[in-house]
Amino acid sequence: MLAPEVGSISVWSAGGCFLLWSHEVTATSRHYVDRLFDPDPQKVLQGVIDMKNAVIGNNKQKANLIVLGAVPRLLYLLQQSSSSLELRTECAVVLGSLAMGTENNIKSLVDCHIIPALLQGLLSPDLIFIEACLRCLRTVFISPVTPVQLLYTDPTVIPHLMSLLSNSQRTQEYITQIFSHCYSGAPDGSVQPWLFHTLTSVCFPLQVRMQALKCFSVLAYENTQGLHDTVLVDGELDQPVEMQLTAAKCLTYMCRAGAIRTDDSCIVLKTLPCLVRMCSKEHLLEERVEGAETLAYLMEPDVELQRIASTTDHLVAMLADYFKYPSSVSAITDIKRLDHDLKHAHELRQAAFKLYASLGSNDEDIRKKPILESGVIELLCSLTQSDSSALRVNGIWALMNMAFQADQKVKVEIVRCLGTEQLFRLLSDPDTNVLMKTLGLLRNLLSTRPHIDQIMSSHGKQIMQAVTLILEAEHSIEVKEQTLCILANIADGNTAKELIMTNDDMLQKIKYYMGHSNVKLQLAATFCISNLIWNEEDGSQERQDKLREMGFVDVLHKLTQASDPNLSDRLDTAANH
């Protein structure tokens, strides 16, 4: 094999090829930047135009130009009154193209103070230049890394943007996009009437109405001020999906803010069915996620909406599909598509968890029928074994809500599907959120005496062992309080309380927490004792005698000096029994 000639690109030397190629790109980029400093204005203009053509779809070139200092020079040329209008416009176009690169590009542009320069450009009388500045501002502000408060540093900016709305369709579209990403707080006197006019008038293009609707949804979120005269939000089936979904979000936010009643026909007959429809697999992944999350938020506090949703269009069965995506990772060969699909698979599961939690949180019939019969409990239990702590938290949270005031059949099914080993693995989870939700699940399972006695008869030894480990370990006050509340529930059982009374080590722990400096722990521990010595139950005298021998009476007397009213009430209850 012949050795490569000096200076040529070696096809068998990957490192050498990359270095030489990188050097050539940098040299080319340097040439573009150097031309911005030419004393001939026409050559500068041509250099900017050539730069515009070079950066289209080329993120590497964009990054090189930013590193080489193109942005400050472009901003200088854009702001100079001596620059021709064509040059200033082309500079705005190139800056907008640079902003369409990576988030790091956006950060660099913001650090170079691009926003004040572009806002100043909006004072120009030339519409084409204004549109170029607005297009760049739109691209910068829709990025999540741009601080939205930069739009409000000058109080004259918003009124001026409002004055530009009537200039052209493009100014309307760009400004409403900026508002939909940056506008927040109470409805503004100047913006809101224009939004209402835009949404209710067919003379505005669809894209402008879409952005106005997004802006209105921001205003509607947790805000009733000025929204009593509800705008007619068009979310009919003949509208694009994005319009339907955004309209449903708008009405959802207004409903949660109290501006629309939950039994209003626009909620029951339009908004809720629309959001359920968005959960079907015929829609894009992003639409399914947004639909499920919005639906969960809409019905979270309202039992009737939960009932309606649970029986609408096989919603519970549709949610099961959220956990089956992507169906085959091995079949996806495109790395970018794989990243996208895996990201949305995670988001789909998160959205489904939220919706399950809302569906099963308040109504026993929903838990017993659609959810229990759909096999969702098995699905949620299996996902508590996920490597993702966020998925474990949400899975346990959904199960905790299902167990709340549930009948014995539901609780037994949860315990059966979750399994003793997994339950206690979750009780030793290093993530505090997982631990807290698992304790909450256990507390809901151990409610009402028949349920307490049944579960403790089959799993009592393991539960008491887990409680002991948590009380002995270094955990937060909240974790230990929740654990003591579980003990108090066990103490309320008819037969389960004997697991505490026959465990002197556990009784000593309860006594220790009765003397703890934290009132919450004192109260929870005293609650345990109150349940153990309740005198209307068989064996209460024997239990009282044993606790007296162990020194609990002395601890109770010391606590009578407590200033906390809740603790005083609990002490009175314990003393009277």
First to last CA, the chain: 99
Q: How confident is the model at residue 24 (pLDDT cuts 50, 70, 90)?
A: very low
64-68, 117-121, 172-176, 229-233: least confidently modelled range: 229-233
- 20 or 75: which carries more pLDDT confidence? 75
Q: Quick one: average pLDDT of 34-63?
A: 93
Two structure tokens written together for 378: 């098995």
Q: How confident is the model at residue 274 (pLDDT cuts 50, 70, 90)?
A: very high
* Residue among 111, 21, 101 at smallest CA distance from 69: 111
User: What is the structure's pLDDT at 563?
Assistant: 59
CA distances from 37 to 80, 163, 479 (A): 14, 36, 65
pLDDT in tens, 334-384: 555 545 555 667 777 778 777 877 776 666 666 555 556 667 788 888 889
pLDDT in tens, 490-503: 999 999 999 999 99
Do residues 109 and 145 make contact, with C-beta atoms less than 8 angstroms apart? Answer: no
Displacement of CA 318 from its chain's centroid (Å) = 21
Can you tell me the distance from the alpha carbon of 534 to that of 569, in angstroms, rounded to the nearest whole number? 15
- pTM for the model: 0.53
Q: What is the largest distance, in Å, between two alpha-carbon atoms of the chain? A: 103
pLDDT in tens, 198-234: 766 666 777 777 777 777 777 666 565 545 444 445 5
Asked if residue 141 has pLDDT above 80, the reply is: yes
Do residues 148 and 139 make contact, with C-beta atoms less than 8 angstroms apart? Answer: no
Task: Give the per-residue SS3 of 197-257.
Answer: HHHHCCCCCHHHHHHHHHHHHHHHCCCCCCCCCCCCCCCCCCCCHHHHHHHHHHHHHHHHC
